[in-house]
């Protein structure tokens, strides 16, 4: 199962890409990637901003130090020989509509189910339990959610699992996959909510 990471958001006020904001000296993106690697998921598709990008520079450093492949759109094939992971990068405009982004990268995702998340959100889920929940539910989409003690509603953790057919719900008029496309999936009764305990995020 591939992991799709959207990481082409606009830069912060300090001129730093959101995914490259540091916690304990490491970019948020580091924690996103390593969280899934620890759970056994080593095949990534990542959108990156067009043009100069600290993300691209960092990924090359990460590949050198952590023994991985970084590929771009011109080189989509690789032989996984003694490599821990592969990251397929796809350049997109900053803050491009998420529906448009997912529709474009669908050709890299393939026909299988995939994990979807963001490069600037610390992951806090048990990946295996969430994947198992998704498979058992038989739904097109699964949203991982938690509930803060002070709130009555459940909050999306920012990590979701989709069957490939979720991409068929994308309409050319959609701007937000989360607000437009997911709404239609929900109307068909094809979304499951995997509820987790209040997340305890490890950053060391």
Q: Kindly list the structural domains of the chain, giving each domain's residue range(s) and its CATH number in brackets, ordered by start.
A: 2-195 (3.90.550.10)
- pLDDT of the residue at 204: 42
CB atoms within 10 A of CB 99: 23
The residues near 98 (Cβ < 8 Å, ≥ 6 apart) are 6, 176, 177, 178
| Overall size of the chain counted in residues | 204
How big is the chain by its Cα radius of gyration, in Å?
A: 17
Q: Give the pLDDT band (50/70/90) at residue 198.
A: low
- pLDDT of the residue at 203: 46
Share of the chain above pLDDT 90, in %: 59
CA distance 55 to 80: 23
> What is the three-class DSSP state of 161?
strand
pTM as predicted:
0.89
> What is the three-class DSSP state of 127?
helix
- pLDDT of the residue at 84: 87
| Contact yes or no for 2/110 (Cβ under 8 A) | yes
Q: How far is CA 52 from CA 24, 90, 188, in A?
A: 25, 13, 41
Average pLDDT over residues 178-192: 95
Pull the structure tokens for residue 83: 């490599």
CA distance 90 to 80: 20
Average pLDDT over residues 31-40: 94
Average pLDDT over residues 15-32: 91
pLDDT for residue 192 is more than 90: yes
Question: For the segment 55-103, what is each residue's pLDDT rounded down to a tens digit?
Answer: 989 999 998 888 888 887 666 555 656 678 999 999 998 888 999 999 9
- pLDDT of the residue at 50: 87
Distance of CA 158 to the CA centre of its chain: 8
SS3 content of the chain, % helix, strand, coil (to 5): 35, 25, 40
CA distance 130 to 148: 19
CA atoms within 13 A on the CB side of 178: 13
Pull the structure tokens for residue 81: 């020989």
Lowest-confidence segment of 3-7, 39-43, 129-133, 197-201 by average pLDDT: 197-201
- pLDDT of the residue at 110: 87
| Sole residue written with tokens 């995997």 | 194
Average pLDDT over residues 185-191: 96
| Contact yes or no for 3/45 (Cβ under 8 A) | yes
Closest listed residue to residue 169, CA positions, set 183, 148, 157: 183
């Amino acid at each position: 199962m591939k992991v799709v990471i959207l990481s082409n958001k606009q830069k912060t006020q300090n001129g730093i890409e959101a995914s490259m904001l540091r916690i304990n000296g490491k970019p948020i993106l580091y924690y996103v990637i390593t969280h899934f690697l620890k759970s056994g998921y080593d095949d990534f598709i990542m959108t990156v901003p067009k043009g100069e990008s600290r993300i691209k520079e960092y990924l090359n450093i990460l590949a050198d130090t952590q023994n991985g492949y970084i590929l771009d759109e011109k080189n989509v094939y690789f032989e996984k020989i003694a490599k821990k992971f592969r990251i397929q990068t796809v350049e997109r405009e900053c803050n491009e509509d998420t529906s448009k982004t997912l529709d474009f990268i669908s050709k890299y995702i393939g026909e299988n189910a995939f994990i979807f998340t963001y490069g600037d959100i610390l992951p806090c889920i048990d990946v295996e339990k969430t994947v198992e929940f998704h498979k058992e539910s038989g739904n097109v989409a699964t949203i991982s959610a938690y509930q803060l003690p002070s709130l009555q509603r459940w909050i999306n953790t920012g990590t979701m699992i989709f069957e490939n057919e979720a991409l068929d719900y994308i309409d050319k008029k959609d701007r937000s996959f989360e607000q437009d496309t997911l709404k239609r999936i929900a109307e068909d009764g094809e979304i499951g909510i995997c509820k987790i305990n209040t997340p305890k995020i490890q950053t060391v």
